[in-house]
Amino acid sequence: MTEGDPGHLLGLATALVAIPSLSHHEALLADAVETALRLCPWLEVVRVGDNLVARTALGRDQRVLIAGHLDTVPPSGGNDEPRVEDDVLHGLGAADMKGALAVFLHLAGTIPEPTVDVTWCFYACEEVEHRHNGLLRLWGERPDLLAGDAAILGEPTGGLVEAGCQGTLRVRLDLVGARAHTARPFTGRNAIHRLAPLLTAIAGFEGRRPVIDGCKYAEQLQAVSVEGGVAANVVPDRATLVLNHRFAPDRDAEAAEVALHALLDPFLEAEDTWERVDASAGAPPALDHPVLAGLVAATGTAPRAKVGWTDVATFWAHGIPAANFGPADPRLAHTSGEHVSAAELEAAAAVLGTLLTAPR
């Protein structure tokens, strides 16, 4: 590792993208990260499953958790092989969030004496159902490893601080109908046709955009799954729709679900079912914490709201103020065109380096 080499961070990120790490299959990447961390004698490294925690123990007044997830969503559009072009790395996870992991590994390996104690955390299964989340497993099995005063989560934020995060709610709607022969549909009722007004309302959803601590959130509603059908000549008596609602952190999941009911109940009937699949509260901005305020200052840019749910909410639920900060455009996450540039990686490394070495 050579700190001065401008291609170093890009090369490191490329190496991380080259190791597939679909959720539940992070072992190879965890092996590589563990190997790199164990080269640093100033870090105490603990592995729990495919989750890694590496800590300094310098007796500083403050301890900062710096965390990133190892996993990616499934490949899309042939993006599973990394490709570097004009100092830009393209590939699955380049933005979400192996670029940040490269920055973290670089700083963990080059700052042996930060002015705050640092807990580096690389964890599994962030992109799937929350119950699988590696942070939850660490809190369950080794809560001592996650003690800290504030946390920074390396989700892609375009190099500025994205404060707090929105909550997420998933509901499953089962619409009923009545079977009939498709030549005589008037003797039954088509449950798939019943989706029409519901999908029209969902597609036309206009979310609230509350401003909290100067950060503007934006609520969303998306159908993420649809399924229905009995046979090729049968009017279907059932259709299922799964929705994902993203709500601002001035609401809890219960209030968000009440609002969703108000929108969709006009299109539902007594025999339909409404099931909450999962819900996770968001987290308010916590920029009054000195570490997070210092992070904002180091970026030199005004913070903005994080509209996606992130593990900032998991930290907040455990009493730890946290903010999102990472290289790459957050709008690229989960798209086939994910990428991150060398300049973005360098800038993120500079901001975190400044924060970790500032005189205190």
Q: Least distance from C-beta 336 to a second copy, angstroms? A: 7
CB of 3: closest distance to a second copy in angstroms? 33
Q: Does 238 bind a second copy (CB under 8 A)?
A: no
Q: How far apart are CA 88 and CA 76, in angstroms?
A: 19
283 binds a second copy (CB under 8 A): no
Tokens of 131: 């119950």
E-assigned strand segments in 17-79: 44-48, 51-55, 63-69
Any catalytic annotation for residue 117? Answer: no
333 three-state secondary structure: coil
Q: Is 168 in the site for a second copy (CB under 8 A)?
A: yes
Residue 204 or residue 319: which is nearer to a second copy going by CB?
Answer: 204
Residue 159 lies near a second copy (rule: CB under 8 A): no
Does residue 47 touch a second copy according to CB under 8 A?
no
- Find the part of the chain contacting a second copy (CB under 8 A) among 10-18, 50-58, 229-237, 289-297: 229-237
Residue span binding a second copy (CB under 8 A) among the ranges 41-49, 101-109, 234-242, 285-293: 234-242
| The one among 184, 270, 288, 359 contacting a second copy by CB under 8 A | 184
Distances (CA, A) of 20 to 27, 71, 153, 315, 342: 10, 8, 21, 27, 21
Q: Which is nearer to a second copy, 110 or 225 (CB)?
A: 225
Binding map of a second copy across residues 71-110, x = CB under 8 A, - = no contact: --xx-x----------------------------------
Q: For a second copy, which is the closer residue by CB, 327 or 330?
A: 330
Alpha carbons 350 and 298: distance in angstroms, whole number: 9
Continuous segment of H or E residues that includes residue 201: helix 195-203
Closest to 25 measured CA to CA, from 67, 70, 68:
70
Nearest to 112 by CA among 121, 120, 101: 120
Active-site hit among 126, 149, 162, 311: 126
Asked if 182 is part of the footprint of a second copy (rule: CB under 8 A), the reply reads yes
The one segment of 36-44, 110-118, 287-295, 302-310 that binds a second copy by CB under 8 A:
302-310
Best CA proximity match to 218, nearest among 129, 284, 308: 308
- Our answer to whether residue 71 is catalytic in this structure is yes
Q: According to CB under 8 A, which one of 229, 266, 290, 300 is a site residue for a second copy?
A: 229
What is the DSSP-derived secondary structure letter of residue 257?
H
What CA–CA distances, in Å, run from 319 to 96, 296, 357? 25, 20, 25
Question: Phi and psi (nearest 5°) for 160?
Answer: -125, 175
For position 308 contacting a second copy by CB under 8 A, the verdict is yes
Closest CA relative to residue 256, chosen from 168, 317, 172 = 168
Q: Which of 18, 199, 268, 343 binds a second copy (CB under 8 A)?
A: 199
Taking each helix axis as running N to C, give the angle between helix 99-110 and helix 342-357, from 0 to 180 degrees, rounded to the nearest 10.
40
Could you list the active site residues? 71, 126
Residues binding a second copy (CB under 8 A): 73-74, 76, 127, 129, 166, 168, 170, 178-185, 187-188, 190, 192-193, 195-197, 199-200, 202-203, 220, 222-236, 239, 241-242, 244, 246, 277, 307-309, 330-331, 333-336
